[in-house]
Amino acid sequence: MPVLSGEPVRRVRRFWAVRRVPAALLAAVVLGGAGLLLYDVAAVRADRRAMAWRRELADGLATRPLDDTWVVLGAALACALGLWLLVLALTPGLRAVLPMRHEHADVRAGLDREAAALTLRDRAMEVSGVQSVRVRAGRAKVSVRALSHFRPLDEVRADLERVLTTGVGELGLARTPALTVRVARPPRKG
Query: What does DSSP say about strands 130-137 and 141-148: parallel, antiparallel, or unpaired?
Result: antiparallel
What are the tens digits of pLDDT across the range 116-140? 999 999 999 999 999 999 999 998 9
Whether residue 3 is predicted with pLDDT greater than 90 in this model: the reply is: no
Alpha-carbon gap, residue 68 to 59, rounded angstroms = 14
Report if pTM > 0.75: no
For residues 143 and 180, is the Cβ–Cβ distance under 8 A? yes
